[in-house]
Amino acid sequence: MKDRIVLVTGGASGIGRAVALLAAERGASVAVLDHDAQGALAVATQVVEINHGKALALNVDVSNEQAVAKAFSEIERQMGVPTAVFAGAGIDRGGPAHDLPLETWRKVMSVNLDGVFYTARHAIALLLRHNLPGSIVCASSPAASVGFAAGGAGAYSASKGGVSSLVRCLAVDYARHGIRVNAIVPGATETYMMWGNVNPEDVPRLREQISQEIPAGRLAQPDEPARAALWLLSDEASYVTGSHLVCDGGILAKASISF
């Protein structure tokens, strides 16, 4: 990743933050986009401390296409063309479909699916305009393939299913231009979003329960799926496009029954 310009949405925390810092360790300049302006600035500051390179923090709501377009213009002006893009911004809000507020459904879709589309759309347009190859990695989820046993994840699952379908289509459309599009499929990971809807007092108990259900016996740390994303962003994955790199500790490989 040396001398590459990496753009990360959702870069203020969780897997996005880990992608930004790992990219910095490997010599990249990093643009950190997040709706959390202070968090994005803190990560950008860490990037500079790690490799003394360029970093840019931008307060961006990825569900707003104008804001995404403006961010790409600003990154191009200040840093150059990002040829490695991680679309990691996402939210998890749920509930049973029969009483899920439409506003919640639309918000999840606007961030998780529209936001990935806007990010990929403007990244691809910029790469085409400059006749450059590039790599885009989107954050999908096991929820794109299976229903979560806990239930109430219809909006989140549908949004991630859309991301996975979008990845395959974009990969086919732009492969001839040297633009690769892939996804990582992280499982349960120790991030704010993992526990955002959980009473803090219940977290230790649920962590233990979930760990017992994961074949690997534990939750992932954010840097573990981030390393998978970095590989897909790098030239080491030069012939990989339209793929989903599963990094879930064995969740999707496991049957739901124990006998």
Let me know if 156 is a catalytic residue. Answer: yes
CB atoms within 10 A of CB 255: 6
Residue 225 lies in a domain: yes
Query: Residue 84 is part of a domain; what is its CATH number?
Result: 3.40.50.720
Among 156, 174, 192, 239, the active-site one is 156
Q: Which helix (H) or strand (E) holds 227?
A: helix 223-233
pTM exceeds 0.75: yes
pLDDT averaged over 10-residue windows placed end to end, the chain, 259 residues: 94 97 97 97 97 94 98 97 98 91 96 98 98 98 88 92 98 98 95 78 84 92 97 97 96 81
Residue 254 lies in a domain: no
User: What is the predicted pLDDT for the residue at 118?
Assistant: 98
Choose among 73, 77, 76, 90: nearest CA to 12. 90
At position 251, the amino acid (one-letter code) is I
Residue 176 domain-assigned (yes or no): yes
Question: Which of 74, 86, 164, 151 has its CA nearest to residue 120?
Answer: 86
- The pLDDT assigned to 201 comes to 81
The answer to whether position 252 is within a domain reads no
Neighbours of 154 (CB within 10 A): 18
- Provide the number of structural domains found in the chain: 1
Q: Which domain holds residue 86?
A: 5-247
Residue 258 belongs to some domain of the structure: no
What is the enclosing helix (H) or strand (E) of 9?
strand 5-9
| 3-class state of residue 31 by DSSP | strand
